[in-house]
């Protein structure tokens, strides 16, 4: 719901100054109000309330623009649960609680209207979020999750970054693009991949690559896969501790082991942090290489399989195929 300013007299849809102070309205920002029952915890409502501060003169950018464009993983919250301000690209307003302001110069061609809200285009919003991310790892997560919803492709990001060499934070963004992947399905999958590559210092694993038996039957699609060693990685959130989900995970693990794949699992909130996970990755991979188990699996895709591992492949899908093949990703 769009916030409104107070009215001089009663009788309209806007509150008077007195009515705005009676508890039936909530102040969303300086001088703007919404009815008390409007839920400010809804991500899209936070974005609408921020954009209303200067309608027509400010554009939502950063994570807010990516969320408005359909980016599932851009929730506007940090790992500790605290809220990330909605960033507006404008030079006529000041920051206020919950709203950050960027005065960087922006070309008008970078701004577009989506569902009556002015936002910056996907490439600008993604690179902005990467440039101002708290760390390079966070910047990689931004790129991966923007690609998850096919908002940007890595080659598009790289080309865009090269065209804007003087932007604040561009070195971090460029370093992150090199590490980005178009087929990560969650932020924690990205974290596990970075641990695998940067902390454990092992060859970069494939992401969500379908595995088949030698007869061409699909066995499963692990989060990460090291083809050389036959090791696969899985991130298990608290959701995976549920009884029914756990049973399904055990069946999946048995299927992978039956064809010669060796698992390594990272649990949500496990003690020891990145170093403990990295040590387990190294040990599991070394063990798999020593054992040299029979390889009864392949990543060669049969003719009937329709690949969806890149942004280009997913963008090329028909609406029917997209709904059928990407439903498990809850897009």
The whole-number average pLDDT for the span 275-300 is: 94
* High-pLDDT (> 70) share of the chain, %: 92
The pLDDT tens digits for 34-63 are 777 888 889 999 999 998 887 777 899 999
Which is more confident, 15 or 281?
Answer: 281
For residues 108 and 173, give the distance between their C-alpha atoms in angstroms, rounded to a whole number: 22
For residue 240, name the pLDDT band (cuts at 50, 70, 90). Answer: low
The pLDDT tens digits for 70-85 are 999 999 999 888 999 9
What was the pLDDT predicted at 88? 95
Q: What does the H/E/C string look like for the chain?
A: CCCECCECCCCCCCCEHHHHCCCCEEEEECCEEEECCCCCCCHHHHHHHHHCCCCCCCEEEHHHHHHHCCCCCCCCECCCCCECCEEEECCCCCCECCEEEECCCCCHHHEEEECCEEEECHHHHHHHHHHCCCCHHHHHHHHHHHHHCCCCCHHHHHHHHHCCCCCCCHHHHHHHHHHCCCCCCCHHHHHHHHHHHHHCCCCCCEECCCEEECCCCEEECCCEEECCCCEEEEEECHHHHCHHHHHHHHHHHHHHHHCCCEEEEEECCCCCHHHHHHHHHHHHHHHHHHHCCCCCEECCCCCCCCCCCCHHHHHCCCHHHHHHHCHHHCC
For residues 192 and 223, give the distance between their C-alpha atoms in angstroms, rounded to a whole number: 9
What was the pLDDT predicted at 11? 55
Instruction: Give yes or no for residue 104 having a pLDDT over 70.
Output: yes
- Per mean pLDDT, which range of 129-138, 191-200, 320-329 is the poorest? 320-329
- Per mean pLDDT, which range of 11-20, 137-146, 180-189, 278-287 is the poorest? 11-20
For residue 9, name the pLDDT band (cuts at 50, 70, 90). Answer: low
For residue 181, name the pLDDT band (cuts at 50, 70, 90). Answer: very high
For residues 56 and 102, give the distance between their C-alpha atoms in angstroms, rounded to a whole number: 16
For residue 101, name the pLDDT band (cuts at 50, 70, 90). Answer: very high
Instruction: Give yes or no for residue 24 having a pLDDT over 90.
Output: no
What was the pLDDT predicted at 178? 98
Q: First CA to last CA across the chain, in angstroms?
A: 24
* High-pLDDT (> 90) share of the chain, %: 70
How high is the mean pLDDT of the chain? Answer: 90
Burial class from Cβ neighbours inside 10 Å (0-12, 13-18, 19+) for residue 173 reads buried
For residue 208, name the pLDDT band (cuts at 50, 70, 90). Answer: very high
The whole-number average pLDDT for the span 163-184 is: 97
192-194-195-201 Cα dihedral, nearest 10 degrees: 140
């Amino acid at each position: 719901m769009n916030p409104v300013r107070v009215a001089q007299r009663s009788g309209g849809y806007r509150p008077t100054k007195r009515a705005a102070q009676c508890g039936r309205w909530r102040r969303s920002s300086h001088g703007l109000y919404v009815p008390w029952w409007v839920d400010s915890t809804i991500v899209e409502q936070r974005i609408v309330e921020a954009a209303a501060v200067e309608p027509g003169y400010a554009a939502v950018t950063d994570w807010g623009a990516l969320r408005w464009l359909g980016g599932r993983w851009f929730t506007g919250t940090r790992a500790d649960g605290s809220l990330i301000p909605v960033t507006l690209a404008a030079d006529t307003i000041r920051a206020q609680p919950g709203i950050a302001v960027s005065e960087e110069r922006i070309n008008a061609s970078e701004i577009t209207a989506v569902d009556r809200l002015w936002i910056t285009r996907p490439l600008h919003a993604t690179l902005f979020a990467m440039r101002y991310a708290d760390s390079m790892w966070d910047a990689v997560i931004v790129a991966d999750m923007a690609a998850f919803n096919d908002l940007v492709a890595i080659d598009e990001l790289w080309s865009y970054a090269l065209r804007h060499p003087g932007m604040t934070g561009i070195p971090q963004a460029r370093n992150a693009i090199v590490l980005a992947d178009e087929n990560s399905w969650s932020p924690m999958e990205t974290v596990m991949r970075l641990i695998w590559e940067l902390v454990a210092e092992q060859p970069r694993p494939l992401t969500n690559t379908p595995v088949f038996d030698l007869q061409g039957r699909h066995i499963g699609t692990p989060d990460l896969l090291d083809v050389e060693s036959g090791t696969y990685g899985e991130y298990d959130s608290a959701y995976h501790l549920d009884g029914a989900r756990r049973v399904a995970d055990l069946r999946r693990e048995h299927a992978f082991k039956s064809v010669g794949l060796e698992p390594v699992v990272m649990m949500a909130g496990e003690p020891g942090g990145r170093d403990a996970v990295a040590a387990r990755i190294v040990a599991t991979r070394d063990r798999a290489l020593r054992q040299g188990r029979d390889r009864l699996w392949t990543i060669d895709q049969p003719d009937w399989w329709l690949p969806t591992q890149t942004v280009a492949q997913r963008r090329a899908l028909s609406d029917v195929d997209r709904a059928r093949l990407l439903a498990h990703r809850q897009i």
